[in-house]
A and B are shown apart, each in its own frame.
Chain A
Amino acid sequence: MMDLGELYKEVIVDHSQHPRNFGRLEKPTHKAEGFNPICGDKITLYLHVDDNDVISEIVFEGRGCAISMASASLLTEALKGKTIEEANTLFHGFHALVTNAPTQATQNKLEKLRVFAGVKAFPSRVKCATLAWHTLQTALTRGDQRATTE
């Protein structure tokens, strides 16, 4: 049996109870709403991407379970100051982390996001962890739209 502590790492519990970068941007360059129809979790991501494709500002608001909130919170921390290309790399890396075995190189790139490795053992929670990331993809590729985990 997987230990619950492997899923709910201290960092995750902390971020879920004290989400960082929680709020909204008045004039985002990119914005998307993510929704998980199974559980009703909802988040909205707001980004400001500058002329050099660098994410200069990123915040989120919404409500959901500890995993989805912590994931959104840690995502905003990880992406601030990154380029869109780097964000895409992290998206794929994160997906690999929670669904199969990522390479060591990928793991290294993920840095703090590796706390989500335990999610893999809880298949019903994978969508919670990836909600913010799917929302990010939507915001970056399709502008202002809705993402769903379905």
Chain B
Amino acid sequence: MSRLPSSVSTTNSLDGIMAKVRHDFPALQQSVHGKPLVYLDNAASTQKPQSVIDTISHYYAFDYANVHRGIHYLSERATRAYEDAREKVRNFIGASTSREVIFVRGTTEAINLVAQSYGRMHLTEGDEIVITEMEHHSNIVPWQLLCEQIKATLKVIPVNDTGELILEAYERLLGPRTRLVALTHVSNALGTINPVKQIIAMAHAHDARVLLDGAQAAAHIPIDVQDLNCDFYAFSGHKLYGPTGIGALYGKAELLEAMPPYQGGGEMIREVTFEKTTYADIPQKFEAGTPHIVGAIGLGTAVDYLSSIGLMNIGQHEQELLSYATETIGDLPGLRIIGTSPHKTGILSFDLRGIHPHDISTVLDHEGVAVRAGHHCAMPLMGRFGVSATTRASLSVYNNRSDIDTLKGALDKARAFFSL
């Protein structure tokens, strides 16, 4: 990965970098319930570094104007910043041209866009869409809606006991009516990193297109959409240290060009008459209305921030921490980790016999530890593992071993509290 700095190789200097990283995040400097905050809910959303916060306030304070409209200095400057952000995102995911990068509200909107624009144009009655048992609801429901609209069928790749996709079953699902495979790059509830390159190649062999949900991947592993050869890639800014309300959809240019608009309005047109409207070229065709300008610019800064540390370094740091966390809490009596693939990001989803995740979460919160308790918007997957909910600790660049020790201590307290 040439775009990743590779200057840091030893664990010691990596630790040094990571120790500094923590100071970049003002939110982490606070206490909750009188305890220093230990933020382990990063799969839901990450905290923001000072550079992103500064970008946003600086933009509103000094550079603010609408984009692609005004023939005046501020608007030109805003347009440049907005398009620079697109270029940063392009570089971040390895797309060949920034025309392939569409700014959207987030992963959810990106998937809905593909379902409604690509899906309604290219799929018909009897066609098949393949998803997986580990999808977030946002990569299930848009396809169900589409299936209802066009009478297509949804097929589901099952998951094995370690939380990996069963590829033999996938192979059997692929057929002459398979048009689209939509799956998550990394599971939000298990942490499993799916073998997406292989999955994509298998789909392409059947002439099916592939959408990757990168919501849980983009902040943790390097993305190269050309190397993966995916047709669409979706992710959210707020999970990679950027603002909420902004994300990106990557799509191959030839696909995007052939797709009808998703929404109509300003920005996305070339010429409007009451008889006929022609549309702007991509990516503007898919960006109707005034976009989330500051969000995009903030996302650009978040991408800069990630690149300055390096996705390789981040990945290494999180893997080390994941091993430490798995060892530290893994042998608590009654604790079962759900998602035990060797190919995982820093997500620890677990069941603790005798204590419901909500109660664990409340006790942990009182120790300053923020985790997620619930079904993680993946109810079918919870059913697969015979639970209605799990507790999930999810790691990110700013977490450290002491966070894990605090988590362990808090879990001990929860067990004592419920006399287990």
Instruction: List the interface of chain A (C-beta within 8 A of B).
Output: 1, 4, 7-8, 13, 17, 38-42, 63-67, 69, 122, 124-125, 128
Contacts and interface: CB of A to CB of B under 8 A. Distances in A.
Given A64-B356, A66-B359, 11 more contacts: A1-B34, A4-B362, A8-B418, A13-B417, A13-B418, A17-B354, A39-B357, A40-B375, A40-B388, A41-B388, A65-B358
B355, B356, B363, B373 — which one has the most chain A CB atoms within 10 A of its CB?
A: B356
Contacts of A41: 358, 388
B418 A1 contact: no
B33 interface: yes
Contacts of A17: 354, 418
B23 interface: no
A41 B419 CA distance: 22
Interface of B: 33-34, 354-359, 362-363, 366, 373-375, 379, 382, 388-389, 417-419
A129 B358 CA distance: 12
B302 to A, nearest CB: 28
B30 to A, nearest CB: 14
A4 B359 CA distance: 10
B374 A65 contact: no
Nearest to B363: A4
Nearest to B358: A65
Secondary structure class of chain B's binding surface, majority of residues: mixed
B366 A40 contact: no
A63 B388 contact: yes
Given A8-B417, A66-B356, A39 B375 contact: yes
B362 A38 contact: no
Nearest to A122: B362
A42 B366 CA distance: 26
Contacts of A63: 388
Contacts of A4: 362-363, 366, 417
B418 A39 contact: no
Nearest to B413: A4
Contacts of A39: 357-358, 373-375, 388-389
A30 to B, nearest CB: 25
Nearest to A7: B362
B355, B359, B366 — which one has the most chain A CB atoms within 10 A of its CB?
A: B359
For the complex of A and B, 5 pairs with smallest distance between CB atoms: A65-B358, A65-B356, A40-B388, A40-B375, A66-B359
A38 B375 CA distance: 8
Nearest to B387: A40
A122 B358 CA distance: 12
Given A4-B366, A67-B358, A125-B362, A38 B374 contact: yes
A13 B416 CA distance: 12
Contacts of A124: 362
